[in-house]
Amino acid sequence: GDLPLDLFAAIEALKQELNAVILAHYYQEPDIQDIADFIGDSLQLAKAAADTNADVIVFAGVHFMAETAKILNPDKMVLLPDLNAGCSLADSCPTEAFAAFKAAHPNHLVVSYINCSADIKAMSDIICTSSNAVKIVQQIPIDQPIIFAPDRNLGRYVIEKTGRDLVLWEGSCVVHETFSEKKIVQLKIAHPEAEAIAHPECETSVLRHANFIGSTAALLKYCEQSPSQEFIVATEPGIIHQMQKQAPYKHFIPAPPLNNCACNECPFMRLNTLEKLYSAMKNRSPEITLPENIRMAALRPIQRMLEMSV
């Protein structure tokens, strides 16, 4: 269809017209981050969605994030610029297989990473994100057996940090799996002053070389506060836009993928574009909808997370 010449101005106008708020994840393309009302990691975005007074939430992120916003706001319209913006981690945990896994581990509490479908959330006791997973598991009584799904890398990291024995679902993220230990070591040798920082979704072989491990928001804060001038960044490179904005004179090197065919950008996050964001607002579509019984069941573990992470 026809696109206005000044997309930024057109989106601003639609924002007023709809009384909309644009929430964007750090992995979105820079233009989307620049037009967003709020940028954050998945926990900050869930909190922003829980707190907003807007009538329409335009979610510039992936499906499970927009779905979480809808679970928290059944009466608001939640728009996602591209409905195909999924997540390999969420896809790695299909509903029926997970129901069988849960049945095979009776008496276990289910802690699920927010990167999962509403169906999986509905089968969970507590949701967590990469920024509060350790804190949440630490609050669970020591003799309580726990299933942790769907990310095995974050799960292993939580096991290491808490000393707890978690039953892990074997899911992983396509982006964080592509980082190469060898290339990070080579980069560290070439840049001896640089600090390596990594998201806990990375493989253990990569995390072992990190000077700091944290969620996207924690990585951003670390880069601002550290006296270092150079960082090797092992997470989706969209975050570097904010790192560079808050510290223009520091140098950020995106960690390279395993082979040159692979890309370290999240193929799902990057389906959203400024053009699709504009069209979604103009057409009030694609909209996120959910059956009420699933929404109610998925809300409970999200609320527990919000209570446990204040």
Distance CA 88, CA 195 (A): 28
The reply, when asked if residue 240 is annotated as ligand binding, is no
Tell me if 215 contacts ligand 13P by CB under 6 A: yes
| Neighbour-count burial for 87-117, b at 16+ CB within 10 Å, e otherwise | bbbbbbbeeeebeebbeeeeebbbbbbbbbb
Chain-centre distance of CA 10, in angstroms?
A: 28
130 touches ligand 13P by CB under 6 A = yes
Give yes or no for a contact between 70 and 96, defined as CB atoms under 8 angstroms apart: no
24 binds, among ligand 13P, ligand SF4, none (CB under 5 to 8 A by kind): none
Q: Torsions phi, psi of 9, nearest 5?
A: -65, -40
Supply the DSSP symbol for 125. Answer: S
Q: Could you say which residues in the range 184-213 bind ligand 13P, by CB under 6 A? A: 199, 201
Applying CB under 6 A, which of residues 162, 216, 242, 309 lies at the interface with ligand 13P? 216
CB-based contact 116:149 (threshold 8 Å):
yes
Instruction: Give the integer Cα–Cα distance in Å for 113 and 128.
Output: 5
Q: How far from chain centre, in Å, is Cα 225?
A: 22
**Alpha-carbon span 146 to 125, nearest angstrom:** 10
Q: Tokens for 41?
A: 């990691």
Among residues 70, 236, 242, 295, which is the contact residue for ligand SF4, using CB under 6 A? Answer: 236
**One symbol per residue from 173 to 192: x for binding ligand SF4 (CB under 6 A), - otherwise; what is it?**
xxx-----------------
Tell the smallest beta-carbon distance from residue 193 to ligand SF4 (Å): 28
Question: C-beta of 192: minimal distance to ligand 13P in Å?
Answer: 28
Residue 157 is a binding residue for ligand SF4 (CB under 6 A): no
User: 3-state class of 78 per DSSP?
Assistant: strand
- Chain positions 89 to 118 lying near ligand SF4, rule: CB under 6 A, are 89, 115
- Element at 306 (helix H, strand E): helix 292-308
Is residue 117 within the footprint of ligand 13P (CB under 6 A)?
no
Binding to ligand 13P by residue 178, rule CB under 6 A?
Answer: no
CB of residue 169 vs ligand SF4: minimum separation in angstroms? 14
Q: Scanning residues 131 to 150, which ones bind ligand 13P (CB under 6 A)?
A: 131
Query: Within positions 38 to 97, which residues make up the interface with ligand 13P, using CB under 6 A?
Result: 41-42
148-177: contacts with ligand 13P (CB under 6 A): 173
Q: Which is nearer to ligand SF4, 21 or 62 (CB)?
A: 62
Contact pick of 116, 266, 274, 281 for ligand SF4 (by CB under 6 A) = 266
Contact stretch for ligand 13P (CB under 6 A) within 128-136, 155-163, 185-193, 247-255: 128-136
128 annotated as ligand-binding: no
Tell me which residue has tokens 């276990």: 108
Q: Which residues contact 21 (CB under 8 A, 6 or more apart)?
A: 15, 37, 38, 48, 52, 54, 56, 57, 58
Partner whose footprint covers residue 130, from ligand SF4, ligand 13P, none (CB < 5 to 8 Å by kind): ligand 13P
Radius of gyration of the chain (CA): 19
Binding site for ligand 13P (CB under 6 A): 41-42, 115, 129-131, 173, 199, 201, 215-216
Binding site for ligand SF4 (CB under 6 A): 62, 87-89, 115, 173-175, 201, 236, 266, 268-269
Residues annotated within a binding site for iminosuccinate: 25, 42, 113-115, 130, 199-201, 216
